[in-house]
């Protein structure tokens, strides 16, 4: 008996094939999520690099309205730094228009930055719960196929009346295949999840740093009055 991929697929039962198809679909979802999130991260990084120096210059010169208009431009919509800066400036201006004290204006700007940071971080994490679910459930899906493979092995022993390797080889191979695929899909999903989560932590740190810089600017501008 040959044990090529096609031969093993042909020898597999309906349940094992269904399990294998489900696991393959899970792996495709994991790969898709990885590519899609990397594109989002790349866009955020590219647009932030383009807009950050311009925003810094406008803030240093005190042109808050121009900085707000620039950060709200459609071209920089995907920038995490522009989003945080925009929220901070908007909150500060609104506090100023409401005639709040300077300390309250600064506190309002800080809260605005933090809200924007939280919302953008949630956008970056979109799909990660799916990856976590795949990573934790894939081995059990594979185990489901494993159980039926063992059942088929015992069935082969019953039909042949023999416990030789030829009677159980098909069922055992079926069980091992689904187990291997399940573990492989889980490892893939876990690697993708960890990689994306590590990158998101970097973006969170960048947004936190930007929020701190925006608030520091308002504090210094207030002290210079």
pLDDT at 218: 85
Residue extents of the structural domains in the chain:
5-220
d(CA 128, CA 33): 8
Element (H, E) at 32: helix 14-60
Give the residue from 223, 168, 167, 210 showing the smallest Cα distance to 67: 210
pTM: 0.80
Among 123, 130, 100, residue whose Cα is nearest residue 222: 100
Task: Report residue 73's pLDDT band, with 50, 70 and 90 as the boundaries.
Answer: confident
Phi-psi label, residue 62: left if phi above 0, alpha if psi -120 to 50, beta otherwise: left
Q: Over range 113-126, report the average pLDDT.
A: 92
Q: What's the mean pLDDT when you consider all of the chain? A: 83
Average pLDDT over residues 112-132: 93
Classify the C-alpha dihedral 44-59-88-103 as positive or negative.
Answer: positive
Q: Compute CA 193 distance to the chain's CA centroid, rounded to the nearest angstrom.
A: 6
- Assign 168 a pLDDT band (cuts: 50, 70, 90): low
Backbone phi and psi for residue 36, each to the nearest 5 degrees, phi listed first: -65, -45
d(CA 99, CA 96): 5
Query: What tokens appear for 202 in the block?
Result: 């970097």
pLDDT tens track for 22-59: 999 999 999 999 999 999 999 999 999 888 888 888 88
């Amino acid at each position: 008996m040959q044990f090529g991929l096609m031969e093993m697929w042909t020898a597999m039962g309906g349940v094992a094939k269904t399990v294998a198809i489900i696991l393959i679909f899970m792996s495709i979802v994991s790969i898709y999520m990885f590519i899609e999130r990397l594109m989002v991260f790349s866009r955020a990084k590219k647009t932030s690099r383009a807009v950050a120096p311009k925003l810094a210059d406008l803030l240093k010169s005190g042109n808050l309205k121009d900085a707000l208009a620039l950060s709200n431009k459609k071209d920089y919509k995907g920038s995490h730094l522009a989003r945080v800066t925009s929220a901070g400036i908007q909150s500060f201006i609104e506090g100023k228009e409401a005639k709040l004290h300077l300390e309250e204006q600064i506190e309002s700007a800080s809260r605005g930055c933090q809200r924007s940071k939280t919302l953008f971080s949630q956008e970056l994490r979109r799909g990660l719960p799916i990856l976590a679910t795949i990573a934790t459930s894939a081995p059990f899906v594979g185990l489901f196929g494993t159980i039926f493979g063992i059942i088929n092995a015992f069935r082969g022993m019953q039909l042949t009346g023999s416990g030789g390797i030829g009677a159980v080889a098909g069922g055992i191979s079926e069980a091992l295949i689904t187990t291997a695929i399940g573990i492989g899909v889980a490892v893939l999903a876990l690697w993708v999840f960890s990689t994306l989560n590590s990158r998101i932590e970097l973006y969170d740190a960048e947004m936190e740093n930007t929020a701190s810089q925006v608030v520091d600017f308002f504090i210094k501008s207030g002290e210079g009055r």
